[in-house]
Amino acid sequence: MRLNQLVLRNFRNYVDCEIDFKDGVNLIVGENAQGKTTLLEAIYFLSTAKSHRTYLDDELIRYNESWFYLKGAFVPAISGEEARREAAAVNLMTVEVSNELNGKKRFKLNGTLQKKLSQWIGQFNVVFFSPESLALVKGAPADRRRFVDRLISQISAAYLHHLQNYQFALKQRNELLKQIRSKGASVELLDAWDDLLVADGIALIQARAKVLAQLKVHTQAKHADLTGDSEKLDLTYQPLLDGADRAMASDMDDQFRRALQSSRHFDIRRGTTSVGPHRDDFKLVLEARSAGTVYRQEARSFGSQGQQRTIALALKLGELELLREETEETPVVLLDDVFSELDEARSAFLFELLRRLNAQTFITSTRQEVWTPDLGDCCVFTVQDGKVR
């Protein structure tokens, strides 16, 4: 898909702004704190119903206002201006989000109110790299799980359904554990929630194992491009249930049930469920050469800032290729502060990748001259105090 137009009203520092975008690269230039990243945040919000910077939607409302509104107009990413106009006339898709202070978000697709988030996710996809993306490498397992869950949810509505069911059952089981501990509720009541956790949890594990195997191939290829083949990256799924990614569904069923049973006393003492896919992770191991010696070390603990940023970029570009492969559509690519902490060689490799990306791309920068010689024909937007020209 291609973003044709973006409308922002009372969103962060934007009062009322409408912007038409082009194919290829859209370079957004301006000083710090002028609203460059906010434009990318708005596009991301239209895709995911979430901000990458805050969990509180009210923080997105302009100061002293009580609501915000976003609208995006999308058309198929088809080559040729005439073909694009014809396709847009038939397949134009508009998405709208509004949020009131201390109120509910409202989503509309082509003017129709969407009652469930599952109807919204996957309508159009974005791949977003920002400084926060470094959490994929150096952050907690929860950061990597969110990345995987969001990626698969864009591909599979069934996965999103299983994920929502699992999270509901997990919340209810944890509440029951606390009641057993404090009020003496019956332990046997856990059986019903265990059944639900097992049913949906196995579906999550199997989907994660499949998608992470695909992501590994794409990420390793992008990482090789970004490093000139001087480093190698390995990605390994680590389900909390040992061997669950390789087991048959029936074996996983028995293993998960036994794990929940054996951990009950521990779970009751803590008031939380200690086993299941809500504790999964994936490991990133970097193989590189230093002073003539080849070493393999976990990137989270031993990678330099430049190496960690390169890995995060490779994961995001791998995500792009996987989404393109699975949905047969090219996501919109958002790159915020992408060159920070990359040396000259890695920057050159990234420029070359961007030239070959074949996707509508939005890039923020404080300096136009860094980009235009290498990217050639790109559309430049200047942002100052929430206004765009």
Residue 154 pLDDT: 92
Residue spans of alpha helices (H) in the chain:
36-48, 81-91, 135-138, 141-155, 157-183, 190-227, 249-262, 264-270, 299-302, 305-327, 344-355, 372-375
* Count of Cβ atoms closer than 10 Å to residue 321 Cβ: 20
Residue 244 pLDDT: 63
* Count of Cβ atoms closer than 10 Å to residue 25 Cβ: 23
Per the CB < 8 A criterion, the answer to whether 270 and 281 are in contact is no
CA angle 273, 274, 275 (to 5 degrees): 100
Residue 367 pLDDT: 80
pLDDT string in tens for the chain (389-residue length): 899 999 999 999 999 999 999 888 899 999 999 999 999 999 999 999 999 999 899 999 999 999 999 999 999 876 555 555 555 555 789 999 999 998 888 999 999 999 887 778 888 899 999 999 999 999 999 999 999 999 999 999 999 999 999 999 999 999 999 999 999 999 999 999 999 999 999 999 999 999 999 999 999 999 999 999 999 999 999 998 876 666 666 789 999 999 999 999 999 999 999 999 999 999 999 998 877 788 899 999 988 999 999 999 999 999 999 999 999 999 999 999 888 888 888 888 988 888 888 999 999 988 876 666 566 678 899 999 999 99
Tokens of 30: 């301006």
The reply to whether CATH 1.10.150.120 applies to domain 1-125+333-389 is no
Report strand pairing: 67-75 vs 93-100: antiparallel
Per the CB < 8 A criterion, the answer to whether 151 and 324 are in contact is no
Where are the domain boundaries for CATH 3.40.50.300 in the chain? 1-125+333-389
Cα distances (angstroms) measured from residue 228 to each of 239, 311, 315, 349, 350: 32, 13, 16, 7, 10
Distance of CA 133 to the CA centre of its chain: 9
The whole-angstrom separation of Cα 3 and Cα 44 is 11
Q: Which CATH class is domain 131-328?
A: mainly alpha
Where are the domain boundaries for CATH 1.20.1050.90 in the chain? 131-328
Tokens of 355: 């030239």
Tokens of 373: 């010689």
Residue 240 pLDDT: 87
